[in-house]
Amino acid sequence: MSTTATNQKLKFSSYEILVILILTLTQFTVVLDFVVISPLGDQLMKSMNLSTTQFGLSVSAYAFSAGFSGLLTAGFADRFDRKKLLLFFYIGFVLGTLFCGLSHTYHMLLAARIFTGLFGGVIGSISMAIASDLFPLEKRGRVFGFLQMGFGASQILGIPLSLYIANIWGWQSPFLMIVGLSIFVWLFIVFKLKPVTEHLEQKSEQNAIGHLLQTLTLRKYRIGFLATAFLSLGNFMMMPWGSAYVINNLKITAEELPFIYMASGVCTLTIMPIVGKLSDRFDKFHLFTVASMILIVVITIYANLGPVSFWTVLIMNLGLQVGFMSRMVPSIALTTALPQKRDRGAFMGVNSSLQQITGGIAAAMGGMIVVQNDKLSPLEHYDTLVYVVVLLSVISVFLLRRVSKIVKNND
C-alpha cells in the first residue's frame, strides 16, 4: 500500500471526529466528578473535621461501588446497543452527582458517592468499548490520547473553576456545576451519536452469567486484568493526597493551588496527542516502560521534598503528569487489543471494575499509610506511600510486557 493511501486510511472522518468529541466530553464530566474530590480534600477534611482514613473512604466508596456495578453489568454489556447503555448509565451518574451537591453531612456524602459510582464507574468501560468498536488498532492510540485529554481539560477548566466557586459557595457547588454541564452532554449523545450495534451481529449462545464467566476464565484476558489492577493501584494511591500534601508539607497556599492544577492540565492536553501519535508509531510497551521510569524518578524526588517554592512544586507536578499520563495511553491501547469483538463489552466492564476496585483499595490503603495529627500539621509517611507506588510501577512493567507479547502473537 502506498504512503498516500496509508495516510488516507489513518485520517479521521467527520463522524469519527464527532464521536471522539462526544466521548471526550463524556470522559471530561465523569473524570471531573471523580478527581475534583482530591483538590477539595483539604477543604473537606477541615470543614467536616475528617480524619485521613475517613477522607480515604469517601474517595474509595465511589471506586468500590463502581467496581461492583461494573461486574454486575459486564455480562450484559455486549447484549445491548452501546449508545442506549451509555445514555442509561449517564443519567444515573447525573442524579448521583446532584445528590453529592445536596449533601451536608459526611454520611450523606458517602451515600451519594456510592450511588454516583454505581453509574459513573461503568461509563468509562462503555466509552472504551465504543471507541474500540469504531476505530481500528492503528488509529486507537490517537483516539485514546484524545479521550485522556479529558483529564487535562478537567484540570485546566474544571478543577480551578471548582476550587474558585468552592471558596465562594462551599465544597458542594462544584458538583452542581458538573450536573449542569452533564445534562448538556447527555442531550448531545441523544441527538448526535449513532447506534453502536455491530457487535450484536456476533451471536452468542451463552447467557449473561456464562459470558461473564468465560471472559473471566480466559488466560490472556486474566493477564490483561492483572496488568490493569497493578497499574490502577499505583495511579490511585497518590491521587487523593495531592492538595493536602502540597499545602501542609510543601507549604503552597490555597490561592496558589488552582494554578498548580491548571498548569498540570495544560501539560496533559499538550502531551496526550503527542503520546497518542507516538503510541501508534512506536512499540507501545517500550513507550510505557520509558514513561514508568520517568515517573519513578520524579515521584521519588517529590516524596522527599520539604517546604519549597511555588515554581519547584509546579515543575515537579508537571513531571508527575508526564509520567502518569504517558503510561495510560499505551497501556489502554494494548489491553483493548486483547478481547475479540463479541467479548469486548464484557472485557471492558470487568477491566473497568478492576480498575475501580483496586483504585478504591489504593485510596483506602493510602489513608492508612498517611497520617495527619491535626488539621494544620504535615502529612506523615508520605514517602512510604510513594515507595509502595514505585514497587507497583515496576511490577506493572513486567505485566504489560506479557500483554504486549500476547497482542503481537494474536496479530
pLDDT tens across 296-315, in order?
998 899 888 888 888 988 88
Strand partners, 380: 371
Mean pLDDT (the chain) is: 78
- The terminus-to-terminus CA distance of the chain in angstroms comes to 18
Is residue 90's pLDDT more than 90? yes
Tell me what the mean pLDDT of segment 9-28 comes to.
Answer: 81
Asked if residue 98 has pLDDT above 90, the reply is yes
Backbone angles phi, psi at 351, to 5 degrees: -60, -45
Q: What is the mean pLDDT of residues 125-144?
A: 76
Which band of pLDDT confidence, cut at 50, 70 and 90, is reported for residue 207? Answer: low
User: Is residue 302 within 8 Å of residue 320, measured between CB atoms?
Assistant: yes
Percentage of the chain exceeding pLDDT 70: 84
Cα–chain center distance at 70: 14
Q: Which CATH number fits domain 15-197+217-410: 1.20.140.10, 1.20.1250.20, 2.40.100.10, 3.90.1150.10?
A: 1.20.1250.20
User: What is the average per-residue pLDDT within 247-262?
Assistant: 80
Cα angle, residue 99 at apex, residues 372 and 43 outer, rounded to 5°: 25
Predicted model pTM: 0.65
**pLDDT top residue among 140 and 15:** 15
User: What's residue 183's pLDDT?
Assistant: 92
Strands (DSSP E) along 130-200, which ranges?
A: none
Residue in 286, 280, 288 with CA at minimum distance from that of residue 142 = 280
In this structure, what C-alpha cell is assigned to residue 10? 489513518
Residues 281-301 have pLDDT tens digits of 778 888 888 888 988 998 899
**Percentage of residues in the chain having pLDDT higher than 90:** 5
- Least confident window among 5-9, 92-96, 379-383: 5-9
Among 236, 235, 288, residue whose Cα is nearest residue 403: 288
Residue 6 banded pLDDT, cuts 50, 70, 90: very low
Position 92 scores a pLDDT of 92
